[in-house]
Amino acid sequence: MLPGPRKYACELTLDPNTAYKNFLLSQDRKTATVVSEQQPYPDHPDRFQFRRQVLCTNGLTGRCYWEVEWKGPVSVGVAYRGIEKKGKADDSLLGWNKKSWGLDYRNVAWYNGKGTVSSVPSSRSPCRVAVYLDWPAGTLSFYRVFSDTRTHIHTFHCTFTEPLYPVLEVIGTGSFASLCTQAATNDNFDSQLVTDYFCD
């Protein structure tokens, strides 16, 4: 049994029906890359029309751990399935509403339009971040993965009421975000709490 959050590692795949049309998804549906040409995705009510975002197919209500590697301006997080898909308003942007929680590439954690800056310095791209969701306990934690250490960046404390879907937001042509199929080999977690946010 793996120690710590990694024992809850889960396999995630991206949902092409939600992908922004300038996202090129890898064949295994693990990576989203921003390209200049729109992809021939069919119209779908769940597709993000203006926001450069994609949901995973997996709705989570238990404990789950995953890692994301990215290059460029990227945000990672989770959202309820009902996050707005068609508008340009804040209700469709990761971390800018009450239906989503996110961490951006500058290590700023976002919920309902409020950003919390972490004291952990941001990493040069490409970088890797670990996400640990404990849905029953109402916590969502982010860690920076570097070598054999995971350093705590931020934890949200909320009462979740619906399944949560992992989200990737990728901005800028050539930028990408990838769901890692294998986590780093060592399980050294830095347990120091850097920033916490309690949802209203």
Nearest to 102 by CA among 68, 72, 78: 78
Residue 126: per-residue pLDDT:
77
Residue 198: per-residue pLDDT:
65
Assigned CATH class of 4-198: mainly beta
- Distance CA(165)–CA(61), nearest Å, equals 9
CA 168 vs. chain centroid, Å, equals: 5
- In the chain, where are the structural domains located? 4-198
- Distance CA(199)–CA(97), nearest Å, equals 11
Q: Which parts of the chain have pLDDT scores under 50?
A: 1, 183-185, 192-194
Residue 27: per-residue pLDDT:
98
Nearest to 62 by CA among 144, 182, 160, 155: 160
Residue with tokens 């109402």: 138
- Distance CA(168)–CA(163), nearest Å, equals 17
Phi and psi at residue 90, to the nearest 5°:
-65, -20
- Distance CA(56)–CA(40), nearest Å, equals 19
- Distance CA(84)–CA(94), nearest Å, equals 10
- 132-154 pLDDT tens trace: 999 999 999 999 998 778 999 99
Phi and psi at residue 5, to the nearest 5°:
-60, -25
Alpha-carbon separation of residue 175 from 10, 21, 130, 199 (angstroms): 24, 15, 19, 31
- Distance CA(199)–CA(113), nearest Å, equals 12
Nearest to 32 by CA among 84, 66, 68, 58: 68
